[in-house]
Structure 1
């Protein structure tokens, strides 16, 4: 069982538009509504693979009620902390070539008591999870150290923690020793304070974060695939994509694939790549099911060429 924690969930509305023109009236060619937030998306992808999952999250207002209903319909068990504020709604506009314009609302401000209840809910959620995946931005009211507190409590209870966040929240949590972190290239560059232009530079940055407390680093590199740096070694993988339809939630699907496959080693990396590649070819933040995956097309190599340049270098 995989438990996810999403401190700032959302109701995601996605519209497919022929083109995006400022000041114009846009007529959507397709639309969908999904429960959103990084951890929520991980749980949805885990459930789609037929694996048990529980989503712990704060919910408030009509949008919060709808999120719980949608998750339940997708086979996700929900442990909700009721909050006074209204759960946010996000809007994504997707053009035919896959270009995404996203508007993320700030979300409600959590009180000190709501923050405490959220941490307690992680401890008391049913089941014995193989992994706890703590994901996404922190809402207003939660200090950057909130994830560090969560990681420390989980580690004391003997649970493995995967963390997908950025900025001060990531920096603070490293000291608590998460078993896995999953930054993208830009977040990794920000964490080490320098630009990253090659696989070698990404690998060295990942090793630096390991020296600061992370057990392993799974770096998402967009079109350049993913890089896993762990005690087992350095592995790079790619998966072909015929056409990108939407990359909303693709990194979350990749993390789900990684954890479903055990959360360690090149086999888990291959699963992450297959899930991420399938996700970007689906509309909105739809998550892949096993029939969408093409594991035979995934390529994973150990100790990739360090001078291999990224197609999109990352700046801090």
Structure 2
């Protein structure tokens, strides 16, 4: 069972549009409303794979009630933390050529009492849990060290932690040795303070995060593939994707695939890549089912192409 923690969830509205025209009237060809937030998406991907999951998240106001209803309709157990503020609402505009424009609201501010209740809820729900996935940005009121404290508390209870966040929150959490961190290329570059132009650059950055405390690093390089660096070795993988419809939640689906497959080694990396590739072929933030996966399109190797230039370099 995989428990997810999303400190700053959202109600996400995704519109499929032919193209963006600033100042114009755009008619959407498709519309979706989904529960959002990186941890929420991980739970949705785990549930779509037919596995058990519990989503711990602070919820407030009408948007929060709708998020809970939408998750319940997908068969996901929700462990809500009631808050005084309203859950944020986000908007995503998905163009026909695959370009995505997102408008993310800041979210409510959590009080000290609400923060402690969030910790307590994670502890209460963490029994019989294989992994705890802590994901996304921190809402107002939570210090950058909040994830570090959560990792420390979870480890004290014997749980394994997967962490998907960025900036100072990621750096501070490293000292508590999360079992795996999952940065994308931009987050990886920000964490080490230098640009990434090649797969080798990304590899060196991932190794640096391990030196700082991460037990394993699952680095998503977008269209360039994924890297896994842990105590057992280094692996690089890619997948063939013919048509990209939306990359919303693709990284979250990838993390779910990694944890579903055990969260360790090249088989887990292959599962992560297969789930991420399947997600980008689907509209909006739809999560892939096993029928959507194409394992034959995935290639994983320990021969990392360190000199390969990234198609999407990070400056």
Matched, 1:195 2:192: no
Question: C-alpha root-mean-square deviation of aligned residues, in Å?
Answer: 0.7
Instruction: Identify the residue that residue 81 of structure 1 maps to in structure 2.
Output: 81
Distance 2:75 2:170 in 1: 30
Q: Please tell me whether the aligned partners of residues 233 and 303 of structure 1 are also in contact (alpha carbons under 8 angstroms).
A: no
Deviations 1:195-240 (A, max 9, x none): 1111111111111110111000000001101011111111000011
Instruction: Identify the residue that residue 7 of structure 2 maps to in structure 1.
Output: 7
Matched, 1:303 2:310: no
Instruction: Identify the residue that residue 114 of structure 1 maps to in structure 2.
Output: 114
Give the C-alpha shift of residue 190 in structure 1. Answer: 0.5
Q: Please tell me whether the aligned partners of residues 16 and 30 of structure 1 are also in contact (alpha carbons under 8 angstroms).
A: yes
Q: Please tell me whether the aligned partners of residues 167 and 191 of structure 1 are also in contact (alpha carbons under 8 angstroms).
A: yes
Q: Please tell me whether the aligned partners of residues 3 and 126 of structure 2 are also in contact (alpha carbons under 8 angstroms).
A: no
Instruction: Identify the residue that residue 271 of structure 1 maps to in structure 2.
Output: 271
Deviations 1:105-145 (A, max 9, x none): 00001111101100111001164110000000000000000
Distance 2:29 2:62 in 1: 26
- Aligned pairs for 1:135-284 (under 5 A) are 135-284=135-284
Deviations 1:254-311 (A, max 9, x none): 0000000000000000000000000001111110001000011100010312111111
Q: Please tell me whether the aligned partners of residues 126 and 132 of structure 2 are also in contact (alpha carbons under 8 angstroms).
A: no
- SS at 1:187's partner residue? helix
Higher mean Cα deviation, 296-305 or 37-46?
296-305
Distance 2:218 2:37 in 1: 19
Instruction: Identify the residue that residue 289 of structure 2 maps to in structure 1.
Output: 289
Q: Please tell me whether the aligned partners of residues 163 and 182 of structure 1 are also in contact (alpha carbons under 8 angstroms).
A: yes
Instruction: Identify the residue that residue 69 of structure 1 maps to in structure 2.
Output: 69
Instruction: Identify the residue that residue 134 of structure 2 maps to in structure 1.
Output: 134
Q: How many residues align?
A: 315
- SS at 1:175's partner residue? helix
Give the C-alpha shift of residue 242 in structure 1. Answer: 1.2
Q: Please tell me whether the aligned partners of residues 241 and 281 of structure 1 are also in contact (alpha carbons under 8 angstroms).
A: yes
Give the C-alpha shift of residue 97 in structure 1. Answer: 0.5
Q: Please tell me whether the aligned partners of residues 14 and 32 of structure 1 are also in contact (alpha carbons under 8 angstroms).
A: yes
- SS at 1:139's partner residue? coil
Give the C-alpha shift of residue 75 in structure 1. Answer: 1.2
- SS at 1:246's partner residue? coil
In structure 2, relative to structure 1, the CA distance for the partners of 1:126 and 1:172 (3 Å cut) is closer
Structure 1: gaps spanning 5 or more residues? none
Structure 2: gaps spanning 5 or more residues? none
Q: Please tell me whether the aligned partners of residues 162 and 180 of structure 1 are also in contact (alpha carbons under 8 angstroms).
A: yes
Distance 1:243 1:11 in 2: 27
Q: TM-score, normalised by structure 2?
A: 0.99
Q: Please tell me whether the aligned partners of residues 108 and 139 of structure 1 are also in contact (alpha carbons under 8 angstroms).
A: yes
Distance 2:190 2:303 in 1: 24
**Large movers: runs of 4+ above 4 Å:** none
Q: Please tell me whether the aligned partners of residues 198 and 309 of structure 1 are also in contact (alpha carbons under 8 angstroms).
A: yes
